[in-house]
């Protein structure tokens, strides 16, 4: 391996470009050596942000050219499994944007292919957000007593017109499906999904918002409002209710303005700004781990567990019933 970790980035859409810029401008010890993207316009846009990189139409071509030491996957979820299996066979440390795969069976195949080698990390970047990490520590220390409830909000300003209602779960709620058990230290055992009154500003046919209720093994209950047509900005956070106090995260912060008889603070426009530091920290730590051949964050098994809960949440949405989550056992 060369002195700098040579990263291949698969996918030069919005998220891929964001990661290419991050690695090229802000991450020490690594560079983007390969932009793996079949669309020539996107590929050229990605390569323009990564001086010295080469463009490949697929991962096999990049591997044939010995062009990378590690892989970052930022293509849509349905294409993850095949890339992951190829990367595992090539023993490439891989950071894969969420979800690991859209279905639990695919995620299990990835876990089995990995066979305990700890090569695959899932891009649940919230685990690297300072406020979430702080909240987890507070829950663990129990200074305000035991955690009882979590009220989570996940609000987007808008989503593309091609969104279908399932995507509120597979694309958005999946983050809480990962972060809630991580915060509370206990797995989700049952899910219910309710449909409040529909937001008329949502794209046609989209059943937005939803309210998901997670029951955790330790008795904690978490409710999550997923609301993706809120117009005003991007707001993600949680209020943790303890026996003797509360902690609230995700509040808009920064300079306060006093203007025209109003006081205001800017709201982040999208997840790119809201989680910019978390993405940086995630990739920075992954680069160090990948250079040593491993991961430092959510594993393929965490991705599989999230996929199992996602399927339960989809069933709860489709049936209107409370759905028990099958328990999954971590491989030895
Ligand atoms: C988007 O795909 C993300 O992953 C964001 O983190 C999430 O908050 C948003 O709702 C999704 O659409």
Please provide the DSSP assignment of 274-298 as one string.
Answer: HTHHHHHHHHHHHHHHHHTTS-SSS
User: Quick one: pLDDT band at residue 330, thresholds 50, 70, 90?
Assistant: confident
Residue 80: both structure tokens together: 């993850």
Ligand 1: which atom is nearest the Cα of residue 159?
12
Gap from CA of 14 to ligand 1 centroid (Å) = 12
How far is 300 from 98, CA to CA, in rounded Å? Answer: 11
Length of the chain as a residue count: 332
pLDDT for the residue numbered 3? 81
pLDDT for the residue numbered 322? 98
Instruction: Tell me the Cα Rg of the chain.
Output: 20
Inform me whether the pLDDT recorded for 31 exceeds 80: yes
User: Quick one: pLDDT band at residue 1, thresholds 50, 70, 90?
Assistant: low
User: Quick one: pLDDT band at residue 307, thresholds 50, 70, 90?
Assistant: very high
Q: Using alpha carbons only, what angle is made at residue 267 by residues 264 and 272, rounded to the nearest 5 degrees?
A: 160
Gap from CA of 271 to ligand 1 centroid (Å) = 6
User: Quick one: pLDDT band at residue 195, thresholds 50, 70, 90?
Assistant: very high
Express each pLDDT in 115-129 by its tens digit: 999 999 999 999 999
Express each pLDDT in 259-297 by its tens digit: 999 999 999 999 999 999 999 999 999 999 999 999 999
Q: How far is CA 313 from the centre of its chain?
A: 17
Measure Cα distances from 246 to 134, 148, 243, 250, 330 in Å: 13, 10, 8, 14, 32
What phi-psi label fits residue 276: left (phi over 0), alpha (psi between -120 and 50 degrees) or beta? Answer: alpha
**What percent of the chain clears pLDDT 70, i.e. is strictly above it?**
99
Gap from CA of 135 to ligand 1 centroid (Å) = 21
Inform me whether the pLDDT recorded for 61 exceeds 60: yes
The residue contributing the CA closest to ligand 1 atom 2 is 171
pLDDT for the residue numbered 296? 98
Measure Cα distances from 214 to 19, 90, 114, 189, 197 in Å: 32, 38, 29, 7, 20
Measure Cα distances from 61 to 23, 35, 36, 38, 269 in Å: 22, 11, 9, 11, 37
DSSP 59-84: HHHHHHTT--SEEEE-S-GGGHHHHH
User: Quick one: pLDDT band at residue 16, thresholds 50, 70, 90?
Assistant: very high
Ligand 1: which atom is nearest the Cα of residue 97?
4
152: cis peptide before it, omega within 30°? Answer: no
pLDDT for the residue numbered 151? 98
Token look-up 């690991």 returns 100
Q: What is the dihedral of CA 135, 141, 146, 151, to 10 degrees?
A: 0
pLDDT for the residue numbered 213? 99
Under a CB-based contact definition with an 8 Å cutoff, are residues 84 and 119 in contact?
no
Pocket test for ligand 1, best of 73, 77, 155, 156 (most atoms within 8 A of CB): 156
Gap from CA of 218 to ligand 1 centroid (Å) = 28
Inform me whether the pLDDT recorded for 2 exceeds 90: no
The residue contributing the CA closest to ligand 1 atom 11 is 172
**Mean pLDDT, the chain, whole residue set:** 97
């Amino acid at each position: 391996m060369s002195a700098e970790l040579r990263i291949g980035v698969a996918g030069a859409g919005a998220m891929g470009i964001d990661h290419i810029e991050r690695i090229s401008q802000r991450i020490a010890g690594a560079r983007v050596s390969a932009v793996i993207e079949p669309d020539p316009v996107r590929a050229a846009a990605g390569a323009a942000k990564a001086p010295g990189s080469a463009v490949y139409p697929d991962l096999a071509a990049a591997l044939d050219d010995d062009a990378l030491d590690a892989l970052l996957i930022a293509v849509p979820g349905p294409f993850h499994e095949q890339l992951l299996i190829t990367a595992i066979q090539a023993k490439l440390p891989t950071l894969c944007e969420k979800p690991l795969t859209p279905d639990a069976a695919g995620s299990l195949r990835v876990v089995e292919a990995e066979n305990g080698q700890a090569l695959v990390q899932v891009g649940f970047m919230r685990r690297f957000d300072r406020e979430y990490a702080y909240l987890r520590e507070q829950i663990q220390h129990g200074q305000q007593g035991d955690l009882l409830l979590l009220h989570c909000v996940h609000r987007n300003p808008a989503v593309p017109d091609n969104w279908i209602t399932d995507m509120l779960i597979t694309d958005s709620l999946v983050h809480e499906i990962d972060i809630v058990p991580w915060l509370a230290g206990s797995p989700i055992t049952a899910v219910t999904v309710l449909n409040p009154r529909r937001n008329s500003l949502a794209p046609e046919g989209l059943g937005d918002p939803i309210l998901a209720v997670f029951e955790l093994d330790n008795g904690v209950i978490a409710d999550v409002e997923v609301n993706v047509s809120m117009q005003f900005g991007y707001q993600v956070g949680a209020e943790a209710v303890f026996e003797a106090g509360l902690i609230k995260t995700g509040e808009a912060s920064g300079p306060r303005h006093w203007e025209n008889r109003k006081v205001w603070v800017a709201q982040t426009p999208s997840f790119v700004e809201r989680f910019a530091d978390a993405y940086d920290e995630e990739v920075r730590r992954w680069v160090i781990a990948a250079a040593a051949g491993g991961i430092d964050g959510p594993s393929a098994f965490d991705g599989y567990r999230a996929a199992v809960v996602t399927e339960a949440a989809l069933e709860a949405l489709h049936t209107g019933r409370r759905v028990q989550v099958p328990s999954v056992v971590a491989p030895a």
